[in-house]
């Protein structure tokens, strides 16, 4: 679709892939709704997105673990811009370590952010999208949602859940005009990797994807013609 003048809502937009995705949509001329918990960092993204060419940037405090804040994020987006064309479910966290050492708090935080958050934001976005019979939901997964590995059970479980959710959602809403794309990147060089605990086989940064690599893939998917749906994109480092 043509992104100039379109409305894209992005979760977890204060840093990393979310930030770069906001800037990529801004360069394409889209209106933006950006949500995250860190309002200071989010304000910097808002300023950068305006400078990059977005005609309008709405900044919203968003905690995807809370259903009501997800609904408010979408409601404010539609109230401000009149519609919602694209939702990018990007917000996510990861804890790594043996199952025997994984705490209740780590497990619950992983599931609430990576699984519940996608469900809450998607459900809210479907209301205006189904009413129009148009829209695109893009969900960030991971290579660990395709192939699980030791010491990464909680994160893999969350991403496998998202894979199943996305596949079921696509079958449910595609006949009603809603497109669903899941993007599964490999290792990405962001601050996210600094939180890794006991994660094996992490390559050096020069052999990882960049956040901008992933953002460009998201924008490419959003621009796909109506006759061709990129249902799933597995993105691997090119080095």
Instruction: Indicate which residues carry an active-site annotation.
Output: 155
Cα dihedral: 78, 83, 86, 88 (round 10): 0
The answer to whether 138 and 215 have CB atoms below 8 angstroms apart is: no
> If you write DSSP's letter for every residue of 184-227 in order, what string do you get?
EE--EESGGGGG-SS---PPPGGGSEEHHHHHHHHHHHHT--TT
Cα–Cα dist 7/29, whole Å: 10
Q: Is 53 helix (H, G, I), strand (E, B) or coil?
A: coil
The answer to whether 20 and 93 have CB atoms below 8 angstroms apart is: no
Q: Is 165 helix (H, G, I), strand (E, B) or coil?
A: helix
CA 188, 193, 195: angle at the middle one, nearest 5?
A: 160
End-to-end CA gap in the chain: 30
């Amino acid at each position: 679709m043509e992104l100039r003048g379109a409305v894209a809502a992005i979760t977890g937009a204060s840093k990393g892939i979310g930030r770069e995705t906001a800037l990529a949509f801004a360069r394409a001329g889209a209106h933006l709704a950006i949500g995250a918990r860190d309002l200071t960092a989010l304000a910097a993204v808002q300023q950068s997105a305006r400078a990059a060419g977005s005609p309008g940037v709405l900044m919203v405090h968003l905690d995807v673990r809370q259903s009501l804040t997800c609904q408010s994020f979408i409601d404010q987006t539609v109230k401000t811009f009149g519609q919602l064309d694209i939702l990018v479910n990007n917000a996510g966290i990861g804890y790594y370590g043996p199952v025997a050492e994984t705490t209740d708090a780590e497990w619950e935080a992983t599931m609430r952010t990576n699984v519940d958050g996608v469900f809450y934001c998607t459900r809210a976005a479907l209301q205006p999208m189904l009413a129009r019979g148009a829209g695109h939901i893009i969900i960030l997964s991971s290579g660990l949602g395709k192939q699980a590995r030791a010491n990464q059970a909680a994160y893999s479980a969350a991403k496998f859940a998202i894979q199943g959710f996305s596949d079921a959602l696509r079958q449910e809403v595609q006949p009603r005009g809603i497109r669903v794309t899941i993007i599964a990147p490999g290792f990405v060089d962001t601050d996210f990797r600094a939180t890794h605990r006991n994660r094996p086989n992490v390559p050096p940064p020069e052999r990882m994807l960049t956040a901008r690599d992933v953002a460009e893939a998201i924008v490419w998917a959003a621009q796909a013609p109506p006759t061709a749906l990129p249902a799933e994109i597995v993105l691997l480092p090119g080095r």
